[in-house]
Structure 1
Amino acid sequence: MSRAAARLATTVLVSLFAVLVSNGVALAHAGGLTSASNEPVILRLVPASPGVTVTVVEYGARLRLDNHTAERVAVLPPPGSVINALPVVGPGGSALWSDPRIVAAARQPRPPGARLDWSIPLRAGDTHVTLVGEQRWPPPPNAGLWWLITICAAVLPPVVVALGTRRRGGRVLKRATQCAESADSRDVFESRRTGGRGVVAVGTAVVMGAHVVHMYGSSLVVAQGSLALVFLAAAGFAVVGWPIGVAGAWLTLRNRPAGPLLCCVAGALLAIIIAPADVFSFHDAVIPFAWGADLDRLLIALTVGGGLGIVAAAWLLMRRTAPAPVGDQP
C-alpha cells in the first residue's frame, strides 16, 4: 500500500475510533424521533372551543396547541400529579409538548380493536375543556419482505464483484499463459482490478445517497428548529461517512488503491455503527418520515444491507486486485 493510502487509512481509523468512544452516533430519525407501533389521533374538544386548536405533530411524538382566543389556555396535569412542565399558552401563542397521558397509552399492548381512548384536560380562561382522542395501532408492515430486501442488497455487490473479476481474470490469465512477457502479466492484474470497480463505486454512491435521503426526509418531520441544524444534528458522524464514501467511489473509479478501502470504511460506518437502529422500522407501522413509510424502509434496507454488501465487495476487490509478491513471480 502506498504512503498516501496508509495516511488515508490512518485518518479513517481515527475517525471510526472517535465515533465509537463518543455520543455522536446518528439518531435513528431526526429530532430523536423513533418508529412506533401506534399513533395518537385527536377526535374533538368538549365543549367545542372556537379559536383553540390541537394537532398531532411529528407522527405522534408531540402535540401542538394554537391559541387564537383572548384568554390563556393551560394544559392541566393528571389528577394528583406533580408534573408542572405542561404548557400555558397566551393569546396568539402556540406550544409543543409531549403529554404523559399519550405516552402512557402508547406503552400499552395492542388492545382488542386496536384502539385505546385517552383524554387531556385543558383550561381556556375559566372554562374547563377536555381534549378527547384515542391511540390507534395500524396494521404492522411485512417485516420479512424488508429483511429479504436487506439481505439481497447485502449479497448482490460481492457476488457481482466475485463473478466479474473471476471471468475477466480468467480470460486474461489464459492469454497470459500464451505469452510470458512481464507486460502481459501486468495486464492480468489490471484486468482483474477493473472487474469490480464500477460495482463498488456505484454501490457506495447508492448507499450514501440512500442514507442522506433517509435523514433529510426524517428531518422534514421535526416541527421545531432550523432544518439545516436538525439535519446535521440527526446525521451525527454520518457527516464523516458520507464524504468518505464519495471520495472512495471517485478514487475507485480512478483506479486508486485507497478507493476500495474508503468504500469499505464508509459502508461499515453506516451499516454497522450508525444505521442498525433504523431496522425497527421494518416491524413498526408508524414511521416519522416525510415521504411515506415504505420509501423510508427501502432506504434503510439499502443503507444497512447495501453497506454490508459494499464492505464485502470492497474487501474482495482489494484482495483480488492485490499484485502477487515479487518473490512469487517467476
Structure 2
Amino acid sequence: MIPVPLRRATVVVTVALAALLALAAPAAAHGADAPDGTDYRAEVTALAPARPGLTVRVVEAGARLELINRTGRDVEVLGYSGEPYLRVGPGGVYENRRSPATYLNQTIAGDTSLPPAADPAAAPVWSRVGKGQSVRWHDQRTLWLESSPPAQVTADPGRQQRVRDWVVPLRAGDETIEVRGTLDWVPPPDAYPWWVAATLGFLAVAAAGLAPAGTATGVRALRGVGALLALGGLATVAFTIGRELDAGADGLGGVLLGLINGQVWMLLTGLGAIAAGGYALARREAADFALALAGACLAIFAGFANIAVLSRSVVPVVWPATTARLLVALILATGAGALGAGILRLHAASRASRQPVPTPATPAAGQEGRGVKP
C-alpha cells in the first residue's frame, strides 16, 4: 500500500505537471523555430550611414534580426525585391501584406507558400502588427538555408571562414540605409568530453542512492543529492535567462515578459528542481519520490532538450559557448543523477517494507507464568 505522504506528493506533482504542460502549449510559439545551436555565426558589422536612435542586431543565435527605431521617424525594411516590407516608427510596427517577404519570413526555412496577393510591384497594404518601436524578423540574406555546407566549408570544415557578406537595405524618407553584416562558418566543438563529464557526474550523484536510508550516511547522501539537484535547477534558470537575453529581451521587464511568454516551461522545470532539492535537504517524507520526478523533468526538459549546445559552436544564449555547455552538462548530470538516486532509494524502501516482521516466540503449553532455570 502506498504511504499517505507519497500519495499526497504524487497528487501535488501531477497537478503541477498538468499546469506546466498547459502553460507550455501556448508558449511554444515564442521563438519556436529558433535553433538550439548552429555552426553559422551572423553578425551586424555596420549601419551605413549611422543614425542616432537606430540600431540593428542579430538575435536568437542568428535566427532573426532585431531593429529598434527611436529616431522619431518611420524607417522601412525593404524586402527581397526592394519593396517595402516592414515599417517601424512612432505609430508602431506595420507589415506590407503585398510583400512576398511578409510570408517567406514567417519561418526560418522560408518555405511558406505565397498567396496570390503577394506582389512586390503592387502598392503597399500596411497592417499593424505591434505597438512598440522594435521588430524582429527572419531574413534569408543573413542565413544559410541549404542542408549541406558551402563548397569552401566542405573542403576545409576545420577552419573558421567567411561564407559571405550580406546587406539588408532600409529606407528613411528618401534616404537608403544599409545594414551590413557577415556570415561565418565556425567549426563545431568536440562533444565527447562534455558527454563524458555529464555521464561521470550522473553516476556519482546516482551512487548516493545506495547509502542505507535511516543512517547518518543515508541522511548526508539525501541532502547531498538535494543540494546538487537544486544546483542543477539554478543552472537551468541561468540558461533560460541567458536564452531570453539572446532572443532580444531588454531590461528586467523584458526578461520577465519573455520568460512568461516563451520559456516558462523550462523556467518552471528549474524552479521545480530547486524546490525538490530543498524538500530533500529538509528530509521531508516522500523526498525520494520528489528527487526522482524532479530529476527526470530536469534531465528531459532542460538537459536533453538543449543537447545541441554540446556540439554546436554558436549557441542561443548571451553567455560564452563554453559556459553554456558547462550549464547543460551540469543539468544533465544532476537531473539524471537525482532520478537514479531517487529510484534506488525508493527501491530500497520498497524492499524493506516487504520484509516479514518477526513475531515473539509462543511459550510452550504448561509453561505460562513459570520461570526458566538458568
TM-score norm. by structure 2 comes to 0.68
User: Which residue does 1:327 correspond to in 2?
Assistant: 356
Structure 1 residue 78 corresponds to structure 2 residue 95? no
Amino acid across the alignment from 1:264: A
How many Å separate the matches in 2 of 1:300 and 1:273? 11
User: Which residue does 1:174 correspond to in 2?
Assistant: none
SS at match of 1:226: helix
**Are the equivalent residues in 1 in contact too, given 2:6–2:286 (CA < 8 A)?**
yes
Bigger Cα displacement from structure 2, 14-23 vs 303-312: 14-23
SS at match of 1:87: strand
Deviation string for 1:273-321 (max 9, x for gaps)? 3442211111221123233221111111111232111100111122224
SS at match of 1:210: helix
Amino acid across the alignment from 1:86: L
Query: Residue 147 of structure 1: CA displacement?
Result: 1.7
Distance 1:120 1:266, change over 3 A: same
User: Which residue does 2:242 correspond to in 1?
Assistant: 217
**Are the equivalent residues in 2 in contact too, given 1:140–1:285 (CA < 8 A)?**
yes
Distance 1:103 1:329, change over 3 A: farther
TM-score norm. by structure 1 comes to 0.76
Work out which of the two has the higher radius of gyration on C-alpha atoms and give 1 or 2: 2
Task: Give the % identical residues.
Answer: 25
Structure 1 residue 100 corresponds to structure 2 residue 139? yes
Query: 5+ unaligned residues in a row in structure 2: which ranges?
Result: 92-131, 153-160, 360-374
Amino acid across the alignment from 1:75: V
| Greater helix share, structure number | 1
User: Which residue does 2:16 correspond to in 1?
Assistant: 15
User: Which residue does 1:300 correspond to in 2?
Assistant: 328
How many Å separate the matches in 1 of 2:170 and 2:255? 31
Query: Residue 78 of structure 1: CA displacement?
Result: 0.8
Matches within 5 A, 1:192-271: 193-194=218-219, 196-224=221-249, 226-238=254-266, 240-271=268-299
User: Which residue does 2:314 correspond to in 1?
Assistant: 286
Q: Which has the higher contact order (CA 8 A, sep 6+)?
A: 1
How many Å separate the matches in 1 of 2:324 and 2:358? 51
Structure 1 residue 153 corresponds to structure 2 residue 192? no
Query: 5+ unaligned residues in a row in structure 1: which ranges?
Result: 170-187
**Are the equivalent residues in 1 in contact too, given 2:279–2:287 (CA < 8 A)?**
yes
How many Å separate the matches in 1 of 2:175 and 2:64? 24
CA RMSD in angstroms comes to 3.6
Deviation string for 1:36-78 (max 9, x for gaps)? 22122234456x3555854324243333445576864321111
**Are the equivalent residues in 1 in contact too, given 2:266–2:301 (CA < 8 A)?**
no
How many Å separate the matches in 1 of 2:315 and 2:88? 29
Bigger Cα displacement from structure 2, 259-268 vs 109-118: 109-118
Query: Residue 21 of structure 1: CA displacement?
Result: 7.3
How many Å separate the matches in 1 of 2:139 and 2:7? 53
- Aligned pair partner of 1:277 in 293, 299, 305: 305
How many Å separate the matches in 2 of 1:251 and 1:63? 43
Matches within 5 A, 1:48-197: 48=49, 51=52, 53-58=54-59, 59-65=61-67, 72-79=74-81, 85-89=85-89, 94-102=133-141, 104-105=143-144, 107=146, 109-111=148-150, 112=152, 113-162=161-210, 165=211, 189-190=214-215, 193-194=218-219, 196-197=221-222
Matches within 5 A, 1:34-49: 34=35, 35-44=37-46, 48=49
Deviation string for 1:120-147 (max 9, x for gaps)? 2232322344433221122322222222
SS at match of 1:56: strand
SS at match of 1:118: strand
How many Å separate the matches in 2 of 1:251 and 1:310? 13
Query: Residue 20 of structure 1: CA displacement?
Result: 5.6
**Are the equivalent residues in 2 in contact too, given 1:26–1:238 (CA < 8 A)?**
no
Distance 1:15 1:103, change over 3 A: farther
Amino acid across the alignment from 2:354: P
SS at match of 1:220: helix
How many Å separate the matches in 2 of 1:265 and 1:301? 19
SS at match of 2:179: strand
User: Which residue does 2:4 correspond to in 1?
Assistant: 3
Instruction: Say how many residue pairs are matched.
Output: 303
Deviation string for 1:57-108 (max 9, x for gaps)? 4243333445576864321111287xx64234469x9533324233543556
Amino acid across the alignment from 2:286: A
